[in-house]
Chain A
Amino acid sequence: MGGGVYLLSKFLTNDFSFLYVAQNSNVLLPTFYKVSAFWSAHEGSFYLMILLLSFASSVGLYISKDHAFTSYVITSQGIIVFTYLLFMIFVSSPFLRLDFAPANGADLNPLLQDPLLAIHPPIIFSGYVFYAVTFCYVIAGLFSGFSKELFQHLKIWAGISWFTLSFGILLGSIWAYYELGWGGYWFWDPVENISLMPWIAGTALTHSLVYSRDKLLLSWMVFLAILTFLLSVFGSFIVRSGILNSVHSFAADPSRGIFLLSIFALFSLISFALFIKNFTKMESAWPKVGSRNYLVVLNNIVLSGILLVVFIGTLYPILTEVIFRQKLSIGPDYFSQLISPLVLVLIALFTYEQFMSLSVKTIFKLSGLLVVSATVLFIVLPANVYLNLIFSFVFLVVLAIKAIYDFQQRGTLIQPHKVLGHFSVALMTLAIIFNHNFSERVDIRISPGDEIKVMNADIQFESIDIVAEQNFDSVKANFVVNENITLTPEKRIYKVGGQITSETAVNSNIVKDYLIVLGDRFEDGSWSAAFSIKYGILIIWLSAGLLLVSMLYGTIRRA
């Protein structure tokens, strides 16, 4: 802890004799970003993770009373922290000194100078850290047996981890949308996929806790917990180590890469050895076909499928580059084509789950009604509407009606977090498909004072200003869309390093967003600009917010 405060103070006082400070900070950098520069590169973020893990285990210790499993939990946490510390001290120390301190630092990457991104990495890392804690409880269970109290702790920790990681991913997605300027919230980029993989495994884990408490498929739950932990270790190692962007930088610092791989291999080996050795302790029954637990198992199977799709899509290009020296890329369509039907299957499963208590005959009638209404919608709506969109809409309406009906009948909802969570997943799916289906983008060339009409919108380019800020100069363009929406996209030139970034201008309402990204100036004084209309972005954020609320409620109601 003391070391963390010390390093932070070096950032704040511009002590560039520390290599890490010199590489990631600068005299001109605003104080807020000097703090966030702490975790802006590999060494610092790793150090932060160790601090968080130690902190989380002490808090966990303080809360959990003296159970049979407590000592095992502490031991496994200790081993993880110890291994991480070894790594930090030998190959990734943020405390390296330079013999001659430079007068100024190399600055924080301008793309990272954003308030959202300042808090996004520590939250993702907290998510990973909490999954490490969750994992330790599962390992403790392997030694001391899975008691009721252990399950209580497991559910709370799995819930906290799930919530934190989801929140971190959401922040990253919002940042990508507003800062990267390509008008998207998810690019199926390796860096994003790496954080999504532990999230999918964690989602499966949280659901598997439902049935494994009934002593069903206990070993599967343990397997998922191990998998989630390993994927999050993998994620935290790989993101900032440079492996993802280029295999070349991996080779540039082989000691770190080899160390990382050996830690990962060590953790995998130990956990799976424990898993196999204690397999008999996890003897449990199999779920009855068609039961509620069986549905949760189906959910796990579908989620594992999604995980596999993301895993192959992310790692295959890296492998071909390392083994065959052939660079290739897997387009975003690979992911969306494979994952959207799987998500619809998930939605169908949890919608069906809401109606399970009804008789087979009623369910049969209802699903007939569902197919008929989808068909009617398909015929009535214009031809360019996706079939997926119609299905997700119908499921959403069905879920909403059922929830309202139940609430009126009983005056309360059974497991409201489940109902709300599933509802928001359906809503998010609808919004995402809606966005995918209708969003448009067009590139324009326009001079100040001109007006053009594209995609049923009037764009007026009023003027252009030059503004000087503390650590960058900027060119601001003033656009007016449809006579009342002002958009001012910017181009910034950073004083240190001369990096140029584009600041997207966004105007949001519940149905659609207008975005303008400023391009380049031509010799005749006109500018290029990318103008896009994106649908349903606010609904995506809203549904993600609802999902987070349901996760949080589902967790704290147990505490």
Chain B
Amino acid sequence: MKRFALAGNPNCGKTTLFNSLTGSSAHVGNWPGVTVEKKDGTYKKLKEPISIIDLPGIYSLSPYTSEEVIARNYIIDEKPDCVINIVDATNLERNLYLTTQLLEIDVPMVVAINMMDILNKRGDVLDLEVLQEKLGIPCVEVSALKEDHLDELMKAAYEASKQPRIGRSVFLNKDLVHLIGDVKIAFEGKGVDNPLFHAIKLIENDEVEVKMHGDLVKMVDEFKKTFNDDVFGDDIEAVIADSRYKYITAEFAKALTRNRRSDDDEVISTQSDRIDRFLTHKVFGLVFFAVVLFLAFHLTFSENLFFLGGLFKNVVPSFEGSIYEGLFWSESGINSPGVIMFNFFDMSFSALTDAARGGLDAALGVGHWFTGFLCDGVLTGLFAILGFLPQILLLFLFFSIMEDTGYMARVAFIFDKLFRKFGLSGRALIPMIMGFGCSVPAMINTRTLADDKEKIATVRVIPFFSCGAKLPILLGIAGAIAEVFGFSNVDLITYSMYVLGICTAVIAVLIMRNTTLKGDSNPFIMELPAYHLPQFKALMIHLWDKAKHFVKKAFTIILASTIIVWFLTNFGWNWHMVDSVGDSILGSIGQLIQPIFTPLGFGSQLSPIGWVFAVAAITGLIAKENVIATFISLGTVAVAFLNSGVVDPSVIEAIEADENGITATVAMIHATGITWQGCISFIAFNMLTIPCFAACATARAELPKGKFKWTLLFWILTSFIGSAFVYCFLSMFSRATLAWAIPVTVGLILLGVCGGFCIHFYNKRQRTRKLGA
């Protein structure tokens, strides 16, 4: 099958063209070794099917970003049958800059001129015949969006692919042409493919080229000595870039007739400028951003849409009495679209599980291990993950719209300075904020970060931005603290835990960017794309793709992990099912690891039943809601422990009736003898530790190879250090513990500050040493 590669600048309509050409046959993966998206699909309207490869959007073939290297290597090494270069007609000069570089490679090529309609609307005219003649390759006017002339384009590409094309360069400078000719001969002598391309890149002192053809460097340097430009001297890199642009303005621009009005005023205000005046304004810009964020979260997670709850106080829940009771609204308010979808899945799933359980109970007898395995292990675990899919996708959709319209680039622009202080760019803000909803779409969103180190740092701290599923832990335990210890400000606990997460994230990023993930960030030299309306089709393709990947993960890695945890919870070491978690493998693991939580306040200082906290933390890996679910199921065990085995059935009922888990947690606090400091430390531990399996699976897919295991270690370490600090810090406020807590806390703070200074001065010394060398 013939292979055509799409190449072009970012924001030139390349992805739209790809979607239009390939339709549903598109397949998304990663380029080997990097987390840059690779898309390929099939075009079927020609005599034979054509494989279309979407190369990353690039401005040039320099070797400085992974996108550029990928595109370049693909064309040079994989030798596609034709390169289709998409050019945005409204931004001709910069788009043709890439074209001049592609022209140098010995590969058949056609140019697709996109967005001609916008150009014409401005009153400008582009003469394709002239441009085609100057470029020496076919040019086809297309509209990627309206899918106009795509067949023509593909026919032209098909014709072009039939015969080889020899690369040509576009320089007017005679000395330069001469120099290139000499080096090209040397490459031809070596029998290298694409001699012209390699010759120019070597003259440019291109890193990759110098490494590959080191033997020729000396000779080229000799040649270069004879070269001297009036303006640039011997700075050939600048000469070449400049010559390309000069050629473009001198030759290709002849094809473009500008409307006189825009000629007079180069900086004429466009529609995007007018929007920007508001959206990047000092005050309105921030307000607008806050409102957009609020809406995205509100429409995804709210159970009281637009705060209309009061209106529905006396209305019965929707579908009362059916399995879908409360699907659209309940007494407390109208549900947001996200919650409605969540409810629909959740209610259907639990009805399904109940039906399966009923059927199996009838067939196998009540309490058979297989019923437990299927219903509690497989189905509950799977549904817990799949139930979140609608909300994950909806949140992802809102942020994709912001990305597609060009608004995200503005957000990065506004917040860049703030984030630079922590060694990140403004782009990192969005995934972090998404983390408050769900870590899964947040981690996927880190793809927009150009720098790998920045991406790793961001993925690692995303779980610290406490997601929706962690809120029940907060509310359940904080509620119990209020009840047992008479602490009335539950919201203060909740609020400070969110702040703790953000502070930990900031400190962790600062430490990583100065130690393990050191390095300059990528240049923040980016185009602010013109605003445009989001495209429904592209968004849906994007979402469908994410859903597919997530479901695949849910059925493989996440399901497997869930089954393992179910097995550990329900089986003893003798491979028989047990009645109480206390006798299970997980229970004994909990008892075994209980001592390591001592510095965190929920370890050996508790009563023998203190292992419940360790167990709840482990079951929380399936989904964070499970922490409270485990508390509820262990509440009975706690009561039994307190009353030496005798449990009043009404107590069990009360525990199981309280869905928020406050009653169960209260029983747990009484049985284990945990202090309020220990309780808060336990919340902190769950906030900072390894996120749920779904987030882990996403992190593993998004992180570069080999980084996931270190990320797991990072989460474990951070949660231990973080909650140990929280425990010590809070223990200062209790008369019984302040004697040891004050010196330890002060010691920890001093240690942290000293460590910070050591890193700072070590890095400073390294830097001066490097400069000295």
Do A and B belong to a common assembly?
Answer: no
B interface residues with partner A (beta carbon < 8 Å): none
A interface residues with partner B (beta carbon < 8 Å): none
